[in-house]
Amino acid sequence: MCIFWWPLVESQLSNPLPKPARALDATLQDYAYRAFVHPKTGVPFKGTVPSYLTGIEISAMRLRSGSLYRRGVETFREFVIPVGLRGQPYVERLVLVYQNLGNWSTTYYSLPGYIYLAPVLGLLAYNGSDLSASNLPELDFWASEDAITVKFGSIGPIPDGSVAKCAWFDLHGQVNFTNLLSGNVCSTTEQGHFSIVAELAIAPVPVPPAPPEPAPSDHTHNSRKNNEARIWGIIGAATGGTALLLLLALLILWASRYKKRKRMRELERAADAGEALRMARIGSMRAPYALGTRTMPNFETEFDV
């Protein structure tokens, strides 16, 4: 059982699933410290990565904090470290770990919308008191005077319409873009991972042409005529109805006035048909007078018995 089980374990260890970037840093720190077989201060030692990370290069260099602050490092692979480098917390000795992720750059530092023109390079600082330690936390160090420069050398072709930029990934996974200096050089004041990228141009989405408007058919023409006729019919009916109502109102008004005039004429005829009074001249005037009294008055004494 052990004989058949061992090849399975070996194949699983040689092809593990990709790890997050922070787990990769811890693994590379462990393997970089293994390169210090006979450690010497200020001398870089090239480390060996496990087989499942083939393509990644690592180096480690042990330094005194005071010497690093006063002298800096003239060249550590692509990095030039000036004087005035400070670390926190303070340690007597520290180790600078260099990383070149090569073809693993996009695996651990995916950057949608951009293309890498150079591999991702890393520079991290750790406590150098115990060279057999693993899973060490990074020291917080920064350049207090001049900036740290990263010389990439030759880079890939830049896409048409794009501009090459420096990309800096800090230890929290945030990416920051800065302008590229002459000679494919980037500058930084802190540790992290660095590369040169270019933004991919997004091709505009072609807009399909609008379909031509269909020519008006006979059916459409006839429908339009019918609609116009219907509209004019409604307008004519409304106008005729209004005129009819106005004529009816005038007829009612004329009938009412005719009835009043007829009543007046009847009253006048009744007045003219009454008893005519004789006219008599009184002085220079003529006035009507009655011939006599129709009902003679009776005295009260005539009713006494």
- The verdict on residue 134 lying in a domain is yes
| Region of poorest pLDDT, from 117-121, 140-144, 256-260 | 256-260
CB-CB contact of 91 with 66 (8 Å): no
* Containing structural domain, residue 92: 14-145
Domain count, the chain: 1
How many CB atoms sit inside 10 A of residue 56's CB? 23
Check pLDDT > 50 for residue 16. no
Check pLDDT > 60 for residue 3. no
Closest Cα partner for 110 from 170, 203, 173? 173
In this predicted model, which residue has the larger pLDDT, 297 or 8? Answer: 297
Highest mean pLDDT among 108-112, 208-212, 256-260, 275-279: 108-112
Q: What is the pLDDT of residues 236-253, one digit of tens each?
A: 888 888 888 988 889 898
Q: pTM for this structure? A: 0.61
Check pLDDT > 70 for residue 215. no
Check pLDDT > 80 for residue 205. no
Which pLDDT score is estimated for 13?
Answer: 38
Closest Cα partner for 168 from 79, 292, 301? 79
Q: Which pair of structure tokens corresponds to residue 50?
A: 């496990």
Which pLDDT score is estimated for 278?
Answer: 64
- The verdict on residue 96 lying in a domain is yes
- The verdict on residue 165 lying in a domain is no
- The verdict on residue 305 lying in a domain is no
Check pLDDT > 60 for residue 291. no
Residue 288, φ and ψ in degrees, nearest 5:
-75, 150
Q: pLDDT tier at 122 (50, 70, 90 boundaries)?
A: very high
- The verdict on residue 132 lying in a domain is yes
Which pLDDT score is estimated for 277?
Answer: 57
CA 134 to chain centroid, in Å, comes to: 46
- The verdict on residue 78 lying in a domain is yes
- The verdict on residue 185 lying in a domain is no
Q: What is the mean pLDDT of the chain?
A: 83
Q: pLDDT tier at 2 (50, 70, 90 boundaries)?
A: very low
- The verdict on residue 277 lying in a domain is no
Which pLDDT score is estimated for 94?
Answer: 96
Which pLDDT score is estimated for 264?
Answer: 80
